[in-house]
C-alpha cells in the first residue's frame, strides 16, 4: 500500500465494490489515477488527444484501421461469449481463431483456436481511437460492446478453454481502456466480474510452457497459455481502479524465477522462448518497477530488451524467426533466411516493441529506444498489408532469400488484435513530455499541443523523413516561453547532420545516439530545420554469416527486387543511391539492381540479405 493515495483509493474501491456507482467525467478519468506508482519516470507520455497525425502513411494506416474496426458487426464480436454463456447468439460467425469450431485440431487446423481472444484488443483499439479523434460513434460502439459483453460474463466461458490467461489479459486491457479512454462507467464493474470468472481457471502462479505442458491436457494448445504477461494489465487495473486485488494478482503472476531474476543478472535466457509474448512480458517487469520500485525488475526489462535488440534482431528491427528466440553464436538467424518465411510476427511484435521501448524511454530518456522504434516503424509495420473484411490478416514479415508479402492462412489471428492498437498508439509514440520541455522522438508529420509553464504551445512537424532527410518544426504560441526542444539524433546519423533555428545554423553539437536539447526563449512562428545525414551502411545477418548483408540508408532497410547478381561486393552495395522518393539502385550491373523500402513492396519477390564476395 506504499504511496497509495488514501482518498483516491477509497473512491476507487467503493466503485469496484459497486457502492455508489457513478460515471466520473472524462477529464478526471484521464488525469486522475485511483492509485499512484512508487516511481515517477523522467519523461511522461502525452494524452492521445494531444498528438494529431498529419497527412502521411501513418495517418492513412490509423484511419483505415479505425474505420475497419468501427464497422465490425457487434453481434459477431459477441457471438463466442454469448454461445458459451448459453444465451441467444445472433449475427455472423467471424471464423478463423475467433469462434469455437468442431474443426479445431492443433497444430494442424487452428480454426477455432481461441474463441473471443481478440475482443478486448478490438475494444482497446477503438477506445484509443476515440481518445485520439473524439469521434462519438466510436465511443458509443465501445460502450455498447462493454454492455453486450457484461451480460455474457460467466466462468463457464473458460471451461474447456486452452488459453484462459491469454484471452483474459486482452479482455482486461480492453475494459481498462474503455474506462480510461472512452469514459465507460460500466467497464470497471464488468472487469471485476470478468476477473471473478477467470480466476478458477488460472494456475497458482506463472507457468512456463514446459510447466503448463506437465499438467494433463486435452491438446497441445493447453501448453501455450501466457500467464507471464498478466501482471502488466493487473498493475494498470490497480492503478486505474484502486482495487488492491489487482495488485496482488499482478504480484502472483510475475515470472521471477524462470525469467526476470536471470535476466536481471545479465543472463541471456531468451533462446528457445516464444518471442512476442516474452517481449510483452518485459512490460510486466516495468510495471513492477513503476508500481513497487523494484530495481531488479527494471534491470530485467532493460537487459531483456537489450538482448532482443542486440542478439535477436534483423536489420529491419524485427526479431524472432518462427516466433522463437535463437542462441547467439549459433548462426540460426542466418539459417532462418533459407528455412522459413515466418521471419517476424509484425503487428504483434511491433506493438510489443513500441510498448516496451516507450516505457524504457520514459524511464531512462535514452535515445536508443527511439532509434529502435523508428526502425520497426518504417521497416515493418508501415509495410503491413491491410486487414480484409473477412478477417484475413497480415502476420509474418518474410526475410527469406526468396520472399514475398503474404497474408496469414487463419482469419482473425492475434495480429488482427494488435494492429488497431499500434496504429492508435502512433501519435503518443512520437513525443514525450519533460518538466523542462518536450522530446521529439519520431520524425513524422504531426502536431503536438501542450502547456509549458502555463503557456499554450503547439509544435507542427512537417517531413517526408526517412525518404527525405529534412524535418521542419514550427511553433505556435500565445506568448514567448523558455523551454527545451529535445531532438533525437539517431545513432547512425552522419557528419552532415545539421540544425538551423529561424534560418541560422546553430553551433549545438549534434552527437549521434543522444537527445540534443535546443533551449531558448521560444516565440510564436519560430522554426527549426533539422536535416539528418543518412549514410548508406551494411549490416550482416549474424556473426556466423558475415557475407550476407542488408543495405541500410538511414533507418531504412532496402530490399532487392529482381535478379540478385552472384558477384556483388561491399563497395557496390555502399554505392547504393536513392533515385526517387522510394526507389533506390545498386550500380551493380548494366541495368542496376533495384532496391525498395518495405512499405513500397507490393507483389514482387524480394530479398533482404544479399551475398557479397568481398
Ligand atoms: Zn500476432
- pLDDT 10s digits, 36-91: 999 999 999 999 999 999 999 999 999 999 999 999 999 999 999 999 999 999 99
Q: Is residue 547 part of a domain?
A: yes
Q: Is residue 506 part of a domain?
A: yes
Please give the mean pLDDT across all residues of the chain: 94
Q: Is residue 454 part of a domain?
A: yes
Q: Is residue 591 part of a domain?
A: yes
Q: For 182-225, write each residue's pLDDT tens digit.
A: 999 999 999 999 999 999 999 999 999 999 999 999 999 999 99
Q: How far is the CA of 83 from the centre of ligand 1 (A)?
A: 25
Place of cell 552522419: 494
Of 531, 552, 569, the last residue of a domain is 531
Note whether 527 and 544 are same-domain residues: no
Q: How far is the CA of 507 from the centre of ligand 1 (A)?
A: 46
Provide the sign of the torsion angle of the four alpha carbons 515, 518, 524, 527, taken in this order: negative
Q: How far is the CA of 418 from the centre of ligand 1 (A)?
A: 7
Note whether 521 and 545 are same-domain residues: no
Mind spelling out the 3-state secondary structure of 179-220? HHHHCCCCHHHHHHHHHHHHHHHCCCCCCCHHHHHHCCCCCH
Which parts of 342-452 are beta strand (E)? Answer: 344-345, 396-397, 431-434, 437-440, 446-452
**CATH number of the domain that 467 lies in?**
2.60.40.1180
Number of domains into which the chain is organized: 2
Q: Is residue 467 part of a domain?
A: yes
More confident residue, 25 or 346: 346
Q: Is residue 571 part of a domain?
A: yes
DSSP assignment of 145-171 equals HHHHHHTT--GGGGTT-S-HHHHHHHH
Q: How far is the CA of 56 from the centre of ligand 1 (A)?
A: 25
Q: How far is the CA of 286 from the centre of ligand 1 (A)?
A: 22
Q: Is residue 584 part of a domain?
A: yes
Q: How far is the CA of 413 from the centre of ligand 1 (A)?
A: 6
- Mean pLDDT over residues 156-169, rounded? 97
Decide if pLDDT at 30 tops 70: no
Q: How far is the CA of 387 from the centre of ligand 1 (A)?
A: 13
pTM, full prediction: 0.94
Q: How far is the CA of 578 from the centre of ligand 1 (A)?
A: 33
Of 531, 558, 580, the last residue of a domain is 531
Note whether 494 and 580 are same-domain residues: no
Note whether 445 and 494 are same-domain residues: yes
Q: How far is the CA of 396 from the centre of ligand 1 (A)?
A: 8
Note whether 483 and 548 are same-domain residues: no
**Given pLDDT bands bounded at 50, 70 and 90, which one contains residue 562?**
confident
In which domain, by residue range, is 559 found? 536-611
Of 481, 515, 531, the last residue of a domain is 531
**By C-alpha distance, which of 383, 325, 279 is closest to 58?**
383
How many whole angstroms separate alpha carbon 186 and alpha carbon 205?
29
**Given pLDDT bands bounded at 50, 70 and 90, which one contains residue 581?**
confident
Decide if pLDDT at 172 tops 80: yes
Q: How far is the CA of 391 from the centre of ligand 1 (A)?
A: 13
Q: Is residue 525 part of a domain?
A: yes
Q: For 417-451, write each residue's pLDDT tens digit.
A: 999 999 999 999 999 999 999 999 999 999 999 99
Task: Give the count of alpha carbons within 13 A of 193, CB side only.
Answer: 15
Q: How far is the CA of 272 from the centre of ligand 1 (A)?
A: 18
Return the percentage of the chain with pLDDT > 90, whole number: 91
Decide if pLDDT at 398 tops 50: yes
Note whether 442 and 517 are same-domain residues: yes
- Mean pLDDT over residues 323-352, rounded? 98
Q: For 94-143, write each residue's pLDDT tens digit.
A: 999 999 999 999 999 999 999 999 999 999 999 999 999 999 999 999 99
Q: In this predicted structure, what is the pLDDT of residue 4?
A: 37
Q: How far is the CA of 251 from the centre of ligand 1 (A)?
A: 26
Amino acid at each position: 500500500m506504499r504511496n497509495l493515495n488514501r482518498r483516491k483509493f477509497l473512491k476507487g474501491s467503493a466503485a469496484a465494490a459497486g457502492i455508489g456507482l457513478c460515471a466520473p467525467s472524462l477529464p478526471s478519468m484521464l488525469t486522475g489515477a485511483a492509485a499512484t506508482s512508487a516511481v515517477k519516470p523522467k519523461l511522461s507520455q502525452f494524452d492521445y488527444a494531444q498528438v494529431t497525425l498529419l497527412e502521411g502513411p501513418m495517418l492513412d494506416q490509423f484511419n483505415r484501421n479505425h474505420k475497419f474496426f468501427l464497422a465490425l458487426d457487434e453481434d459477431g464480436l459477441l457471438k463466442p461469449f454469448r454461445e458459451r454463456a448459453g444465451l441467444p447468439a445472433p449475427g455472423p460467425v467471424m471464423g478463423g481463431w475467433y469462434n469455437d469450431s468442431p474443426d479445431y485440431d492443433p497444430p494442424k487446423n487452428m480454426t477455432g483456436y481461441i474463441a473471443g481472444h481478440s475482443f478486448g484488443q478490438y475494444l482497446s483499439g477503438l477506445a484509443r481511437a476515440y481518445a485520439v479523434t473524439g469521434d462519438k460513434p466510436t465511443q458509443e460502439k465501445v460502450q455498447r460492446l462493454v454492455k453486450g459483453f457484461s451480460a455474457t460474463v460467466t466462468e463457464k466461458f473458460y471451461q474447456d478453454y486452452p488459453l484462459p490467461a491469454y484471452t483474459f489479459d486482452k479482455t482486461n486491457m480492453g475494459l481498462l481502456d474503455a474506462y480510461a479512454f472512452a469514459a465507460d462507467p460500466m467497464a470497471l464493474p464488468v472487469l471485476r466480474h470478468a476477473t471473478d470468472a477467470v480466476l478458477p481457471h488460472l494456475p497458482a502462479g506463472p507457468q512456463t510452457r514446459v510447466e503448463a505442458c506437465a499438467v494433463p491436457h486435452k491438446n497441445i494448445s493447453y501448453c501455450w497459455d501466457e500467464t507471464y504477461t498478466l501482471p502488466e494489465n493487473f498493475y494498470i487495473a490497480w492503478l486505474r481502479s484502486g482495487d488492491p486485488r489487482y495488485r496482488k494478482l499482478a504480484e502472483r503472476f510475475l515470472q521471477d524465477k524462470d525469467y526476470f531474476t536471470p535476466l536481471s543478472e545479465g543472463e541471456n535466457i531468451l533462446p528457445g522462448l516464444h518471442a512476442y509474448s516474452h517481449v510483452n512480458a518485459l512490460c510486466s517487469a516495468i510495471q513492477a518497477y513503476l508500481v513497487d520500485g523494484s530495481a531488479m525488475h527494471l534491470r530485467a526489462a532493460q537487459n531483456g530488451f537489450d538482448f532482443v535488440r542486440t542478439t535477436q534482431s534483423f536489420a529491419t528491427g524485427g526479431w524472432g524467426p518462427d516466433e522463437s528466440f535463437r542462441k547467439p553464436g549459433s548462426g540460426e538467424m542466418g539459417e532462418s533466411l533459407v528455412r522459413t518465411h515466418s521471419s517476424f510476427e509484425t503487428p504483434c511484435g511491433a506493438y510489443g516493441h513500441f510498448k516496451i521501448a516507450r516505457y524504457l524511454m520514459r524511464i531512462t530518456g535514452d535515445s536508443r529506444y527511439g532509434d529502435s522504434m523508428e526502425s520497426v516503424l518504417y521497416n515493418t509495420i508501415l509495410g503491413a498489408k491491410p486487414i480484409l473484411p473477412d478477417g484475413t490478416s497480415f502476420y509474418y514479415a518474410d526475410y527469406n532469400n526468396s520472399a514475398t508479402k503474404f497474408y496469414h492462412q487463419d482469419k482473425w489471428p492475434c495480429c488482427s488484435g494488435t494492429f488497431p492498437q499500434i496504429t492508435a498508439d502512433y501519435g503518443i509514440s512520437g513525443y514525450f513530455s519533460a518538466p523542462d520541455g518536450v522530446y521529439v522522438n519520431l520524425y513524422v508529420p504531426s502536431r503536438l499541443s501542450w502547456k509549458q509553464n502555463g503557456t499554450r504551445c503547439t509544435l507542427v512537424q512537417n517531413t517526408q523523413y526517412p525518404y527525405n532527410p529534412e524535418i521542419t518544426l514550427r511553433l505556435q504560441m500565445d506568448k514567448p516561453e523558455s523551454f527545451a526542444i529535445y531532438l533525437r539524433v539517431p545513432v547512425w546519423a552522419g557528419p552532415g547532420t545539421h540544425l538551423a533555428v529561424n534560418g541560422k545554423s546553430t553551433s549545438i553539437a549534434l552527437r549521434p545516439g543522444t537527445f540534443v536539447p535546443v533551449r531558448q526563449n521560444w516565440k510564436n512562428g519560430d522554426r527549426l530545420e533539422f536535416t539528418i545525414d543518412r549514410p548508406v551502411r551494411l549490416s550482416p545477418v549474424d556473426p556466423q554469416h558475415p557475407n550476407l548483408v542488408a543495405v541500410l540508408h538511414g533507418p531504412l532497410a532496402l530490399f532487392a527486387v529482381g535478379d540478385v547478381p552472384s558477384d556483388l561486393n561491399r563497395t557496390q552495395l555502399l554505392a547504393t543511391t536513392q533515385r526517387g522518393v522510394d526507389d533506390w539502385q545498386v550500380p551493380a550491373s548494366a541495368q542496376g539492381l533495384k532496391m525498395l523500402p518495405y512499405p513500397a513492396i507490393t507483389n514482387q519477390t524480394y530479398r533482404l540479405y544479399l551475398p557479397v564476395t568481398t
